[in-house]
Amino acid sequence: MSDANIPALSELERKVRWLSTWMIHNANHLRPSDDELKVGGHQASSASLSTIMTSLYFAALRPQDRVAVKPHASPVFHAIQYMFGNQTREKLENFRGFKGAQSYPSRTKDVDDVDFSTGSVGLGVAQTLFSSLVQDYLSLKGWGGKGPEGKMVALLGDAEMDEGNIFEALLEGWKHGVRNTWWIVDYNRQSLDAVVREGLWERFEAIFRNFDWDVVVLKNGSLQRQAFEEPGGDTLRTWIDTCPNQLYSALTFQGGAAWRKRLLDDIGDQGPVSRLIEARSDAELARLMTNLGGHDVPSLLDAFETARSHDRPVCFIAYTIKGYGLPLAGHKDNHAGLLTPTQVHALRDELAIREGYEWEPYEGLANTAAARRVVAEAPFNAEGRRRRTAPTVAVRDRLDVDLATTMSTQQGFGLIMHGLAKLDEDLADRIVTTSPDVTVSTNLGAWVNRRGLFARENLADTFRAERVPSTFNWTFSPQGQHMELGIAEMNLFLMLSALGLSHSIFGERLLPVGTLYDPFIERGLDALNYACYQDARFMLAATPSGVTLAPEGGAHQSIATPLIGMAQDGLASFEPAFVDELATIMRFGFDYMQRSGEAEPDETTWLRDAVGGSIYLRLSTRSVDQPQRSVDERLAKDIVNGGYWMRQPGPNAQLIVAYTGAVAPEAIEAVGLLAEDRRDIGLLSVTSADRLNAGWTAAQRAREHGLVHARSHVERLLAEVPSHCGVITVIDGHPATLAWLGAVQGHRTRSLGVEHFGQTGTIADLYRHYGIDAQGIMRAAQVLSQGRPLRHLRLASMT
């Protein structure tokens, strides 16, 4: 950018800072409030990044670049988008209100051009690294288009660097040779509650250099650098370099007179440096001492232009003032602080903004024409909105798998993926798999053997080259379709998030499939929620699950994951018992991941299937007898919608058993025995408690809004079950997963499941201990459905 535009950029920086400040002030002091709660909005954190973001968006960024904005700088982002014409005044006036500009930038809730949602600190930062890896993947496949590669940019606070997932991502990026990634640290040396420790920037610098990143420290602005060239400047530089963070912040808050007194007291009468200080008024001295690199437009533009010339990852450590340009600048309590009306009015007058014109984009600017030109010519906005679309990938009518007499759903998953790997069609080519060091143990090995591991450069399998026999061929190449990760579940979900947004970020459709152990979903749950909140699309195969993983003990057994699957928005959760169910669900899943339509429910299922989302498969290593049947269209629909009758109950049914997943053999055995003593007993296979519950909830809501004929799938399944009939539910997971079934039609219900950490043992041991074996189901039946004593029921101890 021409130096002639720097004054206009400086004016735009003040305008953006004003708009963000006024936006928060309006939300807290002017907008009517029913509950009188503080709205908040982080005026100080926004001001801290105002110069950096102005320099980026109006000058340094290009259309192909993508940005994750520091969560607390959301008002600055919205103000910039308002200047671009991508945000409305109405949304700004309703900041943090219902359907207003969001508290933190959101891809799915905001109307302006958000690249990556941010909110849970640290996740947006790491997302940019994984998005850069996805960009490399697409480029090496020849799918990235002919334009230049973009920079994946994260704006983060220094306190945000405390988040462990950032360092996990750094290690993964180093292993994959990450490129084209900029992390810009807003080094204002303040966190939510305190001032950060001395010398932290040196630790940051060492960490990034150890991971082969370039580090650019932007400490002193051009005013300070000019002062350092004056007589006595070296002494001033030394004082600044050795000044503790807390003292620097306190003096910034106190202003020019305090700076003068402290400098003269500390330095003493040293002639040149004293004259340097005395030559400036209090206001000029304050401006000099707060002219840090992160608030100096020429320094920022020069640093960004230099980094643009290569593809190495860069960490910019930009010294800033928290609350820069505001009356609360530097105060340690400013994080949640709000300017008073008096302070806001004084700032308005200082910026020559007329009362009643506070929202006008160019009000108060000295050179409106120059500012308008800079905004209009900003390269980042040159091609308009950057939200891409990509064509869908055709999914075949069925996914074939050779069924053995006895097999597990995890084994079936591996066979289905291997079958896909053999296909010469777009569906197979667009699948990309990833796993946190459990590729083989989650049955992805056969897929990887055929499709290969991805790397930017060829890397031979040494065992294979040395003719050492091995089941697996671990050859890395740009043609590979598996992204092998270290054993960090946060990285898995962030990688899935990046891969699952490829169609929107890069305009290229990918079908990501990730695997991990089901218990360890909880270790990456924040990142999973983040991925779903962004509407990333992927398929997650979590296996093995539950206490069915008996010999591994409680540390490797999952209890709560079925409830997570039900509660997680944007994620359709399934737990098939049989491999033909799994094949049906996976076929549906590859299509569902690509859908993007209106949010209206289907008239038969009352599910928002047109919208689509991600898929979660809870699988097991337990081999069970496979039913010999053909999955016709009707059965396939029932499987996908969440359940079907394995044994239809009769008109006089006294009892039905509803089961999910690996406990199918116990449920089938129990029903067979119960049928000798109970009439018309039914057996309901629940393939997705999530889908059944979501459909039921949606149908109830529809009826409450006047659609009296709305009926859900589970309501139709249970419609003919007599009111006196008892319902027993059983799952290798928390019993609450299915406990709600009795409320659908008002049936008495007993829900069996696992509520406490398991221990080592056999499947029979643990199922008996938790009462989810056939005997446990029969005991529950005896209490729930009074009748003749069951002659098959052993009077085993409950303990």
Query: By C-alpha distance, which of 91, 176, 79 is closest to 126?
Result: 176
What pLDDT was estimated at residue 796? 42
| d(C-alpha 518, C-alpha 564), whole Å | 11
Residue 371: CA atoms inside 13 Å, Cβ hemisphere, count? 20
Query: By C-alpha distance, which of 138, 105, 136, 135 is closest to 120?
Result: 105
Reading the block at residue 257, the tokens are 């007179």
Label residue 450 exposed, middle or buried (CB < 10 Å: 0-12, 13-18, 19+).
Answer: middle
pLDDT along the chain (799 residues), means of 10: 81 96 93 82 90 97 96 95 95 93 92 90 94 96 87 92 90 95 88 58 86 95 96 94 88 93 88 92 94 95 96 95 89 83 95 96 94 95 86 94 94 97 96 93 93 89 68 84 94 97 95 96 96 96 94 90 96 98 98 82 71 96 95 96 96 95 97 90 97 95 92 95 95 98 96 94 95 96 71 47
Torsion angle of the four alpha carbons 14, 16, 19, 23, in this order, in degrees rounded to the nearest 10: -130
Reading the block at residue 252, the tokens are 């910034």
Reading the block at residue 183, the tokens are 């992390």
Dihedrals phi, psi of 373, to nearest 5 degrees: -65, -45
- Cβ density class 236-268: b for 16+ within 10 Å, e for less: bbeebeebebbebbbbbbebbebbbebbeeebe
Query: By C-alpha distance, which of 484, 564, 482 is closest to 520?
Result: 564
- Cβ density class 711-744: b for 16+ within 10 Å, e for less: bbbbbebbeebeeebbbbbbbbbbbbbbbbbbeb
Query: By C-alpha distance, which of 51, 67, 42, 57 is closest to 17?
Result: 51
- 3-class SS of residue 784: helix
Contact 506, 388 (CB under 8 A): yes
What pLDDT was estimated at residue 787? 52
Label residue 298 exposed, middle or buried (CB < 10 Å: 0-12, 13-18, 19+).
Answer: middle
Preceding peptide of 544 cis, ω within 30°: yes
What pLDDT was estimated at residue 392? 95
Length of the chain equals 799
H/E stretch holding 152: strand 152-157
Dihedrals phi, psi of 136, to nearest 5 degrees: -65, -45
Amino acid at 607: L
Contacts of 552 (CB under 8 A, 6+ apart): 760
Contacts of 192 (CB under 8 A, 6+ apart): 159, 335, 336
| d(C-alpha 465, C-alpha 450), whole Å | 17
Q: What is the sign, positive or negative, of the torsion defined by CA atoms of 15, 17, 23, 29?
A: negative
| d(C-alpha 533, C-alpha 514), whole Å | 18
Contact 273, 235 (CB under 8 A): yes
Q: What is the sign, positive or negative, of the torsion defined by CA atoms of 340, 342, 348, 354?
A: positive
Query: By C-alpha distance, which of 763, 86, 57 is closest to 375?
Result: 57
Amino acid at 365: L
Reading the block at residue 192, the tokens are 């939510």
H/E stretch holding 476: strand 476-477
Contacts of 580 (CB under 8 A, 6+ apart): 401, 403, 626, 627, 629, 631
In order of 157, 188, 316, 676, the CA distances from 293 in angstroms are 15, 11, 10, 82
H/E stretch holding 673: helix 664-674
DSSP state of 98: T
| d(C-alpha 435, C-alpha 433), whole Å | 7
H/E stretch holding 222: helix 222-228
Dihedrals phi, psi of 682, to nearest 5 degrees: -115, 155
Reading the block at residue 147, the tokens are 């334009």
Rounded to 5 degrees, what angle do the CA atoms 381, 181, 171 make? Answer: 155
Rounded to 5 degrees, what angle do the CA atoms 769, 771, 776 make? Answer: 130
Find where tokens 């109970």 sit: 678
What pLDDT was estimated at residue 786? 66
In order of 216, 313, 564, 721, the CA distances from 182 in angstroms are 11, 6, 34, 61
Reading the block at residue 560, the tokens are 């709560």
| d(C-alpha 726, C-alpha 715), whole Å | 16
| d(C-alpha 92, C-alpha 103), whole Å | 11
Query: By C-alpha distance, which of 46, 1, 51, 52 is closest to 24?
Result: 46
| Rg of the chain, C-alpha, whole Å | 31
Bridge partners of residue 453, in order along the sequence: 476, 482
| d(C-alpha 646, C-alpha 659), whole Å | 10
Reading the block at residue 233, the tokens are 């400047």
Strands 214-218 and 181-187: unpaired
| d(C-alpha 121, C-alpha 172), whole Å | 19
Contact 379, 64 (CB under 8 A): no
Reading the block at residue 57, the tokens are 């968006």
Dihedrals phi, psi of 613, to nearest 5 degrees: 170, -160
What pLDDT was estimated at residue 416? 97
Find where tokens 């009111």 sit: 723
Amino acid at 295: H
Reading the block at residue 606, the tokens are 């009352």
What pLDDT was estimated at residue 550? 87
Query: By C-alpha distance, which of 21, 17, 128, 22 is closest to 80?
Result: 17
Contacts of 121 (CB under 8 A, 6+ apart): 71, 156, 157, 160, 163
What pLDDT was estimated at residue 196? 56
What pLDDT was estimated at residue 144? 77
In order of 37, 151, 304, 305, 320, the CA distances from 55 in angstroms are 35, 15, 9, 11, 14
Reading the block at residue 509, the tokens are 């459709």
